């Protein structure tokens, strides 16, 4: 148990120390400019092709789910036939 704890402590220290050495470019001003631009595109689609794809997939799943729920409600509301 002690060795496991020591191993976990070494892993956590290693990830913390290596993460602090990396320098990432600050892209926040670019994103702010992109999302604040008044070009008529809704904010949830301004991210590009991936945003449009995710939006369409989400809408498709919502429509399919709604249709499936309505179908199941109709099936549940019909009386079962007696033999």
For the chain, the domains span 42-82
| pLDDT tens column, 48-59 | 999 999 999 999
| pLDDT tens column, 54-81 | 999 999 999 999 999 999 999 999 988 8
The answer to whether the CB of 27 falls within 8 A of the CB of 34 is no
Cα–Cα distance measured from residue 41 to residue 34, given in angstroms and rounded to the nearest whole number: 11
pLDDT beyond 70 at 15: no
Question: Taking the model in full, what pTM does it have?
Answer: 0.59
């Amino acid at each position: 148990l002690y060795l496991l704890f020591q191993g976990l402590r070494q892993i956590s220290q290693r990830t913390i120390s290596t993460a602090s050495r990396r320098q990432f470019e600050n892209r926040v001003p670019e994103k702010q400019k992109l999302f604040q631009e008044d070009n008529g595109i809704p904010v949830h689609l301004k991210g590009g092709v991936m945003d449009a794809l995710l939006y369409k997939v989400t809408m498709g799943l919502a429509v399919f789910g709604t249709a499936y729920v309505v179908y199941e409600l109709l099936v549940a509301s019909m009386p079962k036939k007696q033999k």
